[in-house]
Structure 1
Amino acid sequence: MLPSFYSSWKHIFKLDPERPIDDKTLDALCTSGTDAILVGGSSGLTFDNTVDLLSRVRRYEVSCALELSDPACGVPGFDGYFIPMVLNTNRMEWLIGRHIEALRDFGHLIPWELVVGEAYLVLNGDSTVARVTEANSAIDHIEAVAYSQVADRLWNVPVLYIEYSGMFGDMSLVRKIGNGLKQAHLFYGGGIDSPERAKEAADAAHTVVVGNIIYENLDAALATVSAVNPSIKEQDHVF
């Protein structure tokens, strides 16, 4: 049976180990009522900054998962691990090449019971992840849906991540993709900087990922939690 530690998550805060975050901000995020903290980034991840962030998050009860884009940053102790593959990359290494290298060198150490495949569809060509992976983001709705069907129906990838990092995406497309999925769990990330956008994204995807706004406007980031999970307002969380 595939891991399903993420199946009930509606809201995630994504933290980049390369970006500094003070203890007060981290405390506010981890006690906000979010379902999980996702550690990951498109560049600059190291074993040291990843293990440092994990050790700080571990002081709290919130779930913590790692998006493992570089096997050198494979820190043990996370509740789960997402292995990303970019569907619309122009470089094969980001679809399967790096995964083969990782399994060749570290396959005997991987806790498979905690590992989930994560298919990325990168739709903002100006984002760091698009530049690094040379993703072809200039695709229309028909092509985007086709990519999602490859991940969901042909490959049976557990998680499909629609990534608009740096901008708020086309929710009509996200909703169309979500409605067509047969088994994949849909993550959405990109431009969620207000409760209104968080709610709109949550109506289109299973899980919303809030990232950049954390470092720009903490209050706005915290407000997205109750927008996605209204019951949080009734609980004793700190905002």
Structure 2
Amino acid sequence: MYDIKKWKHVFKLDPAKMINDEDLDKICMSETDAIIIGGTDNVTEDNVIQLMSRVRRYPLPLVLEISNLESTMPGFDFYFVPMVLNSPDVTYQNGILLEALKEYGHMMDFDEVIFQGYLVLNPDSKVAVKTQAQTNLETEDIEAYALMTDKVYRFPIMYIEYSGTFGDMEKVRAAKETLEEAHVFYGGGISSINDAKAAAEVADTIVVGNLVYEDVKQALKTVKIKEKS
């Protein structure tokens, strides 16, 4: 079984976006630690299956980040279940999970299901709008959410998502320094190796997503952050 706490760098691929075979091969052979498949809009059973079948040929961990039940299927190494802590809508905290357990609970392998304390912090992002996330958080709020993740819910991952913009690394640092057990994932706005290095200084794992589609050469350079570890 793969150990997610050893991951330093992962690429996140959106099933609703196109990536050609050459670029996909470069991404999957880049020495990244894992591939996450997930997105906010237009995630369907068909496009998840298509992308999964293309990535599955490569010898690296494959994760499905669950955004809806319709696109959830077997064949992945892990299933990340985001619990959006700063959303007032219970749908994005445990509502989707409830429906998943009602339908698939009897067949789930809970060793493959990873719950995430998820903070959405870019108010202009699609995921913030969709989840109605309360993004105007002070450092004290971040620390309290970190305690909630670590000590109350005991989730193994705290995922800090700025989706589309490079975030406040001091807030990420505050979360990291508060946590004792949970592993910090950071995603959002990584557009260069310098961004990747800055994020990797304060997070355990960095997630590179949009850059894959904007500038694959720059995306591949971000894997270099693993050289220091």
Superposition TM-score, scaled by structure 1 size? 0.93
Q: Name the SS for the 1:146 alignment partner.
A: helix
Shift of 1:82: 0.6
* 1:158 match: 156
Secondary structure of the 2:173 match is: helix
* Mapped contact 1:5–1:80 kept (Cα < 8 A): no
8 Å Cα contact 2:2/2:61 also seen in 1: no
Q: 2:184 matched to 1:181? A: no
> How far off is 1:104 after superposition?
0.9
Once the two structures are superposed, residues 66-85 of structure 1 have per-residue CA deviations (whole angstroms, 9 ceiling, x without a partner) of: 11121221221111111111
Query: In the alignment, which residue of structure 2 is the partner of 1:6?
Result: 4
What amino acid sits opposite 2:20 in the alignment? D
Aligned twin of 2:55: 57
Specify the code of the residue in structure 2 equivalent to 1:83: V
Selected match of 2:226 from 220, 226, 229: 229
* 2:24 matches 1:26: yes
Q: Is 1:40 aligned to residue 26 of structure 2? A: no
Offset at residue 102 of structure 1 (A): 1.3
Say whether the 8 Å CA contact 2:142–2:174 is kept in structure 1.
no
**Following superposition of structure 1 onto structure 2, how do residues 81-230 of structure 1 map, counting pairs within 5 Å?**
81-226=79-224, 228-230=225-227
Structure 1 runs of 4+ with >4 Å offset: none
Letter of the structure 2 residue corresponding to residue 106 of structure 1: Y
1: CA distance between counterparts of 2:30 and 2:131?
33
Mean Cα displacement is larger for which, 142-151 or 11-20? 142-151
Does the residue aligned with 1:107 lie in a helix, a strand or coil?
helix
SS at match of 2:36: strand
Contact 2:63 2:78 in 1 (8 A): yes
- Identity among equivalent positions (%) equals 45
Letter of the structure 2 residue corresponding to residue 200 of structure 1: A
1:80 aligns with 2:75: no
CA contact 1:9–1:36 (8 Å) conserved in 2: yes
Q: Which runs of 5+ in 2 are unaligned?
A: none
Alignment check: 8 A CA contact 1:193 1:220 kept: yes
Q: Report if the CA contact (8 A) 1:30-1:57 is conserved.
A: yes
Structure 1 position 231, deviation (Å): 6.5
How far did 1:4 drift?
6.2
SS in 2 for 1:229: helix
1:141-163 Cα offsets, whole Å, 9 max, x none, are 11121112111111101110000
SS at match of 1:113: coil
Task: Return the alpha-carbon distance in structure 2 between the equivalents of residues 8 and 64 of structure 1.
Answer: 15
**Following the alignment from structure 1 to structure 2, what is the Cα–Cα distance between the partners of residues 65 and 98?**
18
- 1:99 CA displacement: 1.1
The Cα of 1:5 is off from its aligned counterpart by 3.2
Q: CA deviation at 1:109?
A: 2.1
**How many residues align structurally?**
229
CA distance in 2, matches of 1:148, 1:200: 20
- Is the contact made by 2:160 and 2:187 (CA closer than 8 Å) also made in structure 1? yes
3-12 or 132-141: which moved more?
A: 3-12
